[in-house]
């Protein structure tokens, strides 16, 4: 990826800290002359990845590592937490029909990240969870 710009940050577990990452994302896009509308979906992906990681990061290692690499054509997103991990394949696919009437209406993060990205990979074990996403900036 020539002319790529990279940003790395470690986010503490405080309310709305994901907005700091979004500010960085916007700055990278402006630097590369990428139209605001082209990163709108990336904002949602990044938001979901970070709040998901913060929620699962645990009390002992609450920080979340975030890295963006952006070119004029695509964005790579890397988000890692050091929580207890989970089995991604065991996560129930959310369905609006079953959510209506159910006490838990949450659980949409993975679905949104998968559906809005061009490549989505997740690895998770007892040492934490890593999400790697590729998003074309069309």
As a whole number of angstroms, the distance between CA 120 and CA 28 comes to 21
Q: Is 100 in the site for other proteins (CB under 8 A)?
A: yes
Q: Does residue 87 interact with other proteins by CB under 8 A?
A: no
Residue 78's CB: how many other CB atoms inside 10 A? 17
47 binds other proteins (CB under 8 A): yes
Determine, following the binding rule CB under 8 A, whether residue 97 of this chain makes contact with other proteins.
Answer: yes
Ordered DSSP codes for 89-115: GGSPPP-HHHHTTSS-----HHHHHHH
Q: Nearer to other proteins by C-beta: 60 or 106?
A: 106
Rg value, the chain, Cα: 15
Residues making contact with other proteins (CB under 8 A): 15-16, 18-20, 22-23, 37, 40-41, 43-44, 47-48, 51, 94-97, 99-101, 105-106, 108-109, 111-112, 115-116
């Amino acid at each position: 990826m020539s002319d790529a710009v990279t940003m790395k940050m470690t986010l503490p577990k405080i309310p709305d800290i994901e907005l700091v990452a979004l500010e960085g994302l916007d700055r990278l896009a402006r630097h590369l002359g990428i139209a605001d509308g082209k990163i709108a979906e990336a904002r949602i992906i990044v938001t979901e990845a970070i709040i998901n990681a913060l929620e699962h990061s645990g009390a002992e290692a609450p920080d979340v590592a975030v890295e963006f690499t952006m070119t004029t054509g695509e964005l790579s997103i890397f988000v890692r937490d050091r929580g207890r991990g989970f089995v991604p394949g065991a996560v129930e696919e959310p369905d609006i029909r079953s959510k209506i009437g159910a006490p838990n209406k949450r659980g949409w993060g993975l679905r949104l990240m998968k559906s809005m990205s061009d490549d989505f990979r997740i690895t998770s074990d007892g040492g934490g969870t890593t999400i790697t996403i590729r998003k074309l900036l069309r």
